[in-house]
Amino acid sequence: MVVSSSNVGVDESGADDSVSPPPPLPNASKIPVVFLMSRNRSSDSPTSFVMQGFLDFILSGHEIAAELRDYVIFKVVPVANPDGVFIGNTRCNLLGQDLNRHWHDANPWAQPSVYAIRKVYHIVQ
């Protein structure tokens, strides 16, 4: 599998000299988990484009995307602060609380998105 547009993985004769993909993992609990999150603040609008690009790629038929889906579990939170983003709060949710200050003590009523994200994160660990 060639992962670059250059001649990496191709020898002088043009034959594919790349490393073959790893064998399937024997234990499903050992599959790596990648946790992706964006839009914790409404001002993080560029992260929406980055997340959209990632999702377009990982869900595509591209060979590398297919390999990644075979060997990695992706947990994606496209908008971590939906209420704050919707109303345009720069740092805060609807209750006016800065979610970055509550990752260690998230409350299901006051910081529901952070609470849910932490719960999922701890389940997959």
pLDDT tens by residue, 65-95: 999 999 999 999 999 999 888 888 888 999 9
Across the chain, the runs of DSSP E, i.e. the strands, are 33-37, 73-77
User: Residue 41, CB half-sphere, CA atoms under 13 Å: how many?
Assistant: 11
Contacts of 86 (CB under 8 A, 6+ apart): none
Given CA atoms 15, 20, 21, 24 in this order, what sign does their dihedral have? positive
Task: Tell me the pLDDT of the chain averaged across its residues.
Answer: 81
Q: What is the pLDDT of residue 80?
A: 92
CATH topology of domain 28-124: Aminopeptidase (3.40.630)
pTM attached to this predicted model: 0.68
Per-residue pLDDT band for 6 (boundaries 50, 70, 90) equals very low
pLDDT of 106 > 80? The answer is: yes
Q: What is the pLDDT of residue 77?
A: 94
